[in-house]
Amino acid sequence: MAVTSLWHVKGSIKDVIDYIENPEKTVPNQDMQDFFDVFSYVKNPQKTNEGEYVSAVNCLKETALQQMILTKEQYQKTGGYIAWHGYQSFKPDEVTPEQCHEIGLKLAREMWGDKYQIIVATHLDKGHLHNHFCFNSVSYLDGSKYNYSKSEQKRLREVSDRLCFEYGLSVIEHPKKAPSRPLYLDEKDGKPTRYNVYREDLKGAINGSRDLQHMMKYLADKGYEIDFSGNHWKMKLPQYKHFTRLDTLDERLTPDFIRSCLGGASRYGNYKARISYSPHMPEQYKNAWKPHQKTTGILALYYYWCYQLGIFPKGTDYKPTSPLMKEELRKLDEMGLSGNR
């Protein structure tokens, strides 16, 4: 399995010339620094096994930057993006250094080798082997500038996957956008993020429903808005603007798979949606709340004072099943535990 990415490098020709003439005194922006780092691998061979895993396409690796500058000057295209920089990263222990570099070089030649000057450097100093690509934004062949479109992004992924398949490596079957790092860490720790709550409630809806109609009612009673039309079913809580596709929560959650799994725990009938509360809330209050029914009596008074005391945020709808509410309850639990010490 290999993950790929590509981005443009901003800067100026002067930055590149200054770096060539005196790299020790060059202090470029971060994008330019990453770009220059790739070329420094030629001069700093510790990361690439004495330079064995640095290759050039349509130029000499020792003078690649100089040749790229000459190409830009030849076609009078010294402005705009300096170059393009990308990577191809493999799972730990899945490839040897030789395979990693060989696959990276084949990928670079197939993607950009017909028109552009390229450096391919393979990193060996991390837990996972990965290739870096840097290539000129201007073609040495006809002076055209490279355009990274959605179709090019798709082609890069497909070429990488095909090469991985040819080498007997695993391939990502359903690539999707990675979550932000804070969200990733919260998900990993099992905290009640929106997506963890979605998965938990979906599991209950699927296992506790013997037919699709009851599953939809179950989720509605939990407070969700659902869209089960088309090939990609979606759901969301009211406080969020956009729907979330079920198959992004878990790639197995396709309509056919969900239908085949209905009623896994409902042997004697459909389950009703249940609402989870903090263990510090009195039991009689927990059992008093009914979905989509007006709260009255002592529970309504309890909620009122929770608002007045600032336990529940004012100016918002109180929805016990929302991820935000579950997070607040988790904080209350922690406060309760710390108060008992």
Structure tokens at 264: 């896994």
Residue in 101, 69, 70, 93 with CA at minimum distance from that of residue 82: 69
CA 199 to chain centre: 18
Residue in 203, 247, 38 with CA at minimum distance from that of residue 132: 38
Residue 272: its pLDDT value, please?
77
Residue 128: its pLDDT value, please?
78
Compute φ and ψ for 213, nearest 5 degrees.
-60, -40
Alpha carbon distance, N-terminus to C-terminus of the chain: 48
CB atoms near residue 338 (< 10 Å) = 8
Residue 123: its pLDDT value, please?
80
Structure tokens at 2: 């290999």
Q: Determine contact, residues 216/222, Cβ cutoff 8 Å.
A: no
Residue 289: its pLDDT value, please?
47
**Rounded CA separation 159/170 (Å):** 14
pTM over 0.85: no
Structure tokens at 202: 């979906």
Domain boundaries, the chain: 2-166, 183-261, 283-339
Q: Determine contact, residues 91/1, Cβ cutoff 8 Å.
A: yes
Q: Determine contact, residues 167/106, Cβ cutoff 8 Å.
A: no
**Rounded CA separation 296/284 (Å):** 13
Residue 338: its pLDDT value, please?
44
Q: Which fold has domain 2-166?
A: BirA Bifunctional Protein; domain 2 (3.30.930)
One digit per residue, the tens of pLDDT, for the chain of length 341 reads 578 888 888 777 777 777 666 666 555 555 566 677 667 765 555 655 656 788 999 999 888 888 998 999 999 998 888 889 888 988 888 889 999 999 999 999 999 999 999 999 888 776 678 888 989 999 999 999 999 888 898 899 889 988 888 888 866 554 555 555 555 565 556 565 678 788 888 888 888 888 899 999 888 888 888 999 988 899 988 777 889 999 888 877 888 888 888 877 666 678 877 666 555 556 665 555 455 455 567 767 776 777 677 666 555 444 444 555 555 665 666 565 444 44
